[in-house]
Amino acid sequence: MGLLIYLNGKLVPEKEAKVSIFDHGLLYGDGVFEGIRGYNGRIWKLDEHLSRLYNSAKAIMLEVPLNFYDLKNAIVQTVRANKLKDSYIRVVVTRGAGDLGLDPSKCRVPTLFIIAGTIQLYPEVLYEKGLDVVTVGTKRNLTESVSPSIKSLNYLNNILAKIEANNAGAAEGLMLNHLGYVSECTGENIFTVRNNSLYTPPVYAGVLEGVTRNIVKEIAAGIGLKVVEKNMTRHDIFTADECFLTGTAAEIVPVVSLDKRIIGTGKPGETTKRIRKEFSFLTREEGVPVYE
């Protein structure tokens, strides 16, 4: 038995969940999305994810078919219908079906669908041993072109970088911006630890302001780390005491090398482990309940 998918106001079996081949989300990547996690029967940071979804939609002048409250309820309903305790939820809003031209005004009704399933982005062994990362040649989108702050369906920039990382035999690829500063990896934000301080690139470096990124900053401040947002170079990562990536799907995953340079001891660091532990505790205790 497959999943039940929320599609334009109805829960339908996944085999019946279909969109038009003229949908501009498919033809042009015209739409926005969010990936959200559920833990222990609760949906983690749902308001924060939906706020980002509505901000992304506003930036591309796309109207989300449901208001904030109704979309929250639709997400809870979808998770509950699939009887999930721990889940990965994908919320997608596209421009809708139009013609073969670019004009978004030809798309009269946006498409909304919600998938609630599970995900395992990296095998558990990589959380224990850490990732090997390479710098890729594909530069992060200019903020003046397609802003990385918009979580759009057009992820080709990230996908090209992921292809490079795959071809190099690395678990992840580090993307630089057009000025040569560190931006983020293909699907995660990046942090380093040095001298009791936590560093991460600023949003203007071409970074998606990750929900997990913000939580990690709060955790770090709570355990006595100084949190600094600054432009970073690869040298800052080469010479860091520790490094890790954050993302909704990845959660918090240690990095032990960049471009064959060993970071710190070459093993997940103690600060990274502590932040992971604090994060895991929060995810099990907080969130919007699915089953009441």
Q: Encode burial over 123-156: b for 16+ CB neighbours within 10 A, e otherwise.
A: eeebbeebbbbbbbebbbbebeeebbbbbbbbee
- 197 - beta bridge partners? 194, 226
Listing DSSP states for 188-199 in one string gives SEEEEEETTEEE
151 is catalytic: yes
Quick: pLDDT tens for 188-228.
999 999 999 999 999 999 999 999 999 999 999 999 999 99
- Global model pTM greater than 0.85: yes
Quick: pLDDT tens for 54-81.
999 999 999 999 999 999 999 999 999 9
* Candidates 151, 162, 260, 267; catalytic one: 151
Quick: pLDDT tens for 125-178.
999 999 999 999 999 999 889 999 999 999 999 999 999 999 999 999 999 999
Quick: pLDDT tens for 99-126.
999 999 999 999 999 999 998 888 899 9
- Quick check: 260 and 136 in contact, CB under 8 A? no
Q: Identify the structural domains of the chain with CATH numbers, from first to last.
A: 4-117 (3.30.470.10), 124-284 (3.20.10.10)
User: Which stretch of DSSP H or E encloses residue 185?
Assistant: strand 182-185
- Quick check: 94 and 111 in contact, CB under 8 A? yes
For 92: left if phi > 0, alpha if psi spans -120 to 50, otherwise beta; the answer is beta
Q: Distance between CA atoms of 79 and 90, rounded to whole angstroms?
A: 11
In this structure, what token pair is assigned to residue 233? 């170079």
Tokens 């038009």 belong to residue:
20
In this structure, what token pair is assigned to residue 171? 């678990």
Q: What is the pLDDT of residue 215?
A: 97
Q: Percent helix, strand, coil in the chain (nearest 5)?
A: 30, 30, 40
- Quick check: 200 and 247 in contact, CB under 8 A? no
| Cα dist from 105 to 31, 33, 145, 213, whole Å | 13, 20, 21, 35
